[in-house]
Amino acid sequence: MLPVDFTTLTAACSELRAHWLPARTEQVYQRDRYTIAIALRTLKQRDWLEISWHPQAAHICIGDPPPRTPDTFTFSQQLIHQLGGLALMGMETIAPWERVVDLQFARRPGESPLYHLYAEIMGKYSNVILTDANNVIITAAHQVSQQQSSVRPIQTGQVYETPPKLTGTIPHLGEPLERWQERVSLVPGGIKRQLLKTYSGLSASLLESMLLAAEIAPDTNTDNLTEDDWQRLFSNWQEWLKALDSAQFQPAWTGNGYTVMGWGATKPARNVQELINDYYTNQLNQQLFAQLRHQLSQKLQNILGKLRHKAQTFSDRLHQSDQADEYRQKADLLMAYLHNWEPGMKEMTIADFETGEPVAIALQPDKNAVQNAQNLYKQHQKLKRARAAVEPLLFEVQTEIDYLEQVEAAIAQIDNYQSTEDLQALEEIRDELIEQKYLQELDYRTRNPNEPASTNFHRYSTPSGFEVVIGRNNHQNDYLTFRVAGDYDLWFHAQEIPGSHVLLRLPPGAVPEETDLQFVANLAAYFSRARQSEQVPVVYTQPKYVYKPKGAKPGIAIYKQETILWGKPQLVVMSEIS
């Protein structure tokens, strides 16, 4: 993930100063542990200024509106208490080439600032700190105690101290080529490494794009650069410094990230704000997606492992109870042949009443024949009672396994992050598991149970042009089947296999062709646990014949009057429509 360097921060702040000063502070919302969004309103527009102190993705830009879930963080509450209704009047770096932005808030334009909000965009040391007019710290996103840092503690009530000053040489436009080249090549080494060591305000990604534009490999030794190489590189160096001086940037996407200098661009961006917001939103979502998917998969694997072990134990006990009649038969034989018993016997062999085959009966030598028979009758009764007790327990465990396998199948289908809808579908699965008490809530901000499921279904079109809608998780499956489905639609599902609910939307009077039905059956097979199979049995019926059992968990449904088709998941072409 590319860090926000001084150049990107300068480009972002230049745009913000041009379009968002002055602006009235209307609201503050904290999205997560590392990000706040401040609602700003000018005479022409209203939007959200996003400030992040994430250790890998610290940034400042105009971002997306926050979700409508409650904000439970105290930091944002402290900020709105102090800044609410004030005007954002200034946005300046605290010193040349520093990555610390001072956002200044006053009652109205022209007045002295009442508060300073310092956004320190410095990688793993990033922070957001609110101070009063005298620079006394009121609150901070991340407080640093004296034990954590004796150099620069950050505590409420202390005077705000700026980060340690830069130690490297500061780049400037007036430096001639000869002096610049002399500095960089004083100690021979890779050109990229030497530039990073010699000058402040640079980043690895900026230098890589600068060197790429000059057609120089980053690891080229300074002794091997020709005069033309130096001249091309110095020209790009000057171009960079002029862009910083004039605040004229060229935001664009590159093959491995983004640039505000236009070097290596593959696609232009509309502005710096959109570029930064899209890049870090996507990167953080991918990171969150991978972590959440791994956590959910591991949790389900552990729970299912325990449940399957329990189910096997119950099955074994039921298998033992099948031997109940055998114990009674032996007891009956023993009672019929009491006269054959002799003291101290450990076993008696008696012919079976019906087959005449010899039956060996183990005996306890310290008990007589009647007592041994009574023990066998007791064992018979015990096993019969065990069956009556274990059968409902096994049913309950198997029902739970079926449900969790359905959840597991939904997670397996969301295998890669493609868009925010994928992360949202995964978060809904997490919220469902919290609702069902399989996960602890912890720091999760869960979905309101009364809030409807999202409608970012998978959508396809059949050969005849009918729409096919597919749920991404159990909440979506329920919503699709019991809220969206109409009288003329058809409902599909892999037969007795965990998978998504699939709906073929049909207008009144429409009759799907066999090719349409097969197309949907293939999709139902693909979006099931049997995705890797050659053929999968798929049922379809009218939505009115699909029911949810009383008290059933999300995604569980029963159906009747179904028709069976054989779905072929390998024929599915992933051409989802918007």
H or E element in which residue 266 lies:
strand 265-268
* Cβ atoms 210, 233 nearer than 8 A: yes
pLDDT value, residue 24 = 97
Predicted confidence (pLDDT) at residue 221 exceeds the cutoff of 70:
yes
Q: CB–CB of 499/409 below 8 Å?
A: yes
pLDDT beyond 80 at 116: yes
* Model pLDDT for residues 348-371, shown as the tens digit of each residue: 888 888 788 888 888 988 889 899
Please give the CATH topology (third level) of the domain spanning 294-451: Helix Hairpins (1.10.287)
Q: Is there a contact between 363 and 348 (Cβ–Cβ < 8 Å)?
A: yes
**Strands, E, within 313-451: which ranges?**
347-351, 358-362
- The C-alpha angle with vertex 486 and arms to 480 and 489, in degrees rounded to 5, equals 90
Has residue 558 got a pLDDT over 60?
Answer: yes
Distance (Å, whole) CA 212 – CA 235: 13
What is the pLDDT, as a whole number, of residue 427? 92
State the average pLDDT over residues 427-451.
75
Average pLDDT over residues 147-152: 84
Does residue 463 have a cis peptide bond before it, meaning omega lies within 30 degrees of 0? no
Q: What are the residue ranges of helices labelled H in 137-271? A: 177-185, 191-198, 204-213, 227-246
Provide mean pLDDT across the span 140-146: 92
Task: Please give the backbone phi and psi of residue 80, each rounded to the nearest 5 degrees, phi first.
Answer: -70, -30
Find the helix or strand (DSSP H, E) in which 566 lies: strand 563-567
SS3 breakdown of the chain: % helix, strand, coil, rounded to 5? Answer: 40, 20, 40
What's the confidence (pLDDT) of residue 576?
A: 55
Q: Please state which CATH class domain 6-140 belongs to.
A: mainly beta
pLDDT over 70 (residue 405)? yes
Q: SS3 of 384, please?
A: helix
Q: How far apart are CA 209 and CA 257, in angstroms?
A: 11
Would the pLDDT of 126 be above 80? yes
Which residues make Cβ contacts (< 8 Å) with residue 262, sequence separation at least 6? 249, 250, 252
Determine the pLDDT at residue 574. Answer: 63
pLDDT digits (tens, 9 = 90+) for 498-514: 999 999 999 999 999 99
Question: Tell me: the pLDDT tens digits for 447-465?
Answer: 555 555 567 899 999 999 9
Q: How far apart are the first and last CA of the chain?
A: 29
Token pair for 578: 């918007």
pLDDT at 326: 79
Same fold, 6-140 and 177-269: no
In 431-562, at which residue ranges do the beta strands (DSSP E only) sit? 458-461, 467-470, 490-494, 502-504, 536-541, 546-547, 558-559
Asked if the model's pLDDT at residue 36 lies above 70, the reply is yes
Give the C-alpha separation, 182 to 230, whole Å. 11
Please give the Cα distance from 295 to 28 (Å, whole number): 31
| Average pLDDT along the chain | 92
Please give the pLDDT value at position 340: 85
Say which DSSP state 149 is in. Answer: -
Long-range contacts of 210-213 (CB under 8 A, 24+ apart): 210/236, 210/237, 210/240, 210/261, 210/263, 212/263, 212/264, 213/263, 213/264
Question: Between the CA of residue 230 and those of 26, 84, 171, what are the distances in Å?
Answer: 51, 52, 16
pLDDT of residue 148: 86
Helix/strand/coil (H/E/C) assignment for every residue in 284-347: HHHHHHHHHHHHHHHHHHHHHHHHHHHHHHHHHHHHHHCCHHHHHHHHHHHHHCHHHCCCCCCE
Q: Where are the beta strands (DSSP E) in 21-179?
A: 23-32, 35-41, 46-52, 59-63, 87-93, 100-106, 115-120, 127-132, 137-140
- Please state, as a whole number, how many other Cβ atoms lie within 10 Å of the Cβ of residue 273: 23
Q: 39-92 pLDDT, tens per residue?
A: 999 999 999 999 999 999 999 999 999 988 899 899 999 999 999 999 999 999
Residue 578: which pLDDT band, with cuts at 50, 70 and 90? very low
For the stretch 316-329, what's the b/e string if a residue is b when 16 or more beta carbons lie within 10 angstroms of its beta carbon? ebbeebeebeebbb
Domain boundaries, the chain: 6-140, 177-269, 294-451, 458-571
The CATH code for residues 177-269 is 1.10.8
pLDDT at 451: 53
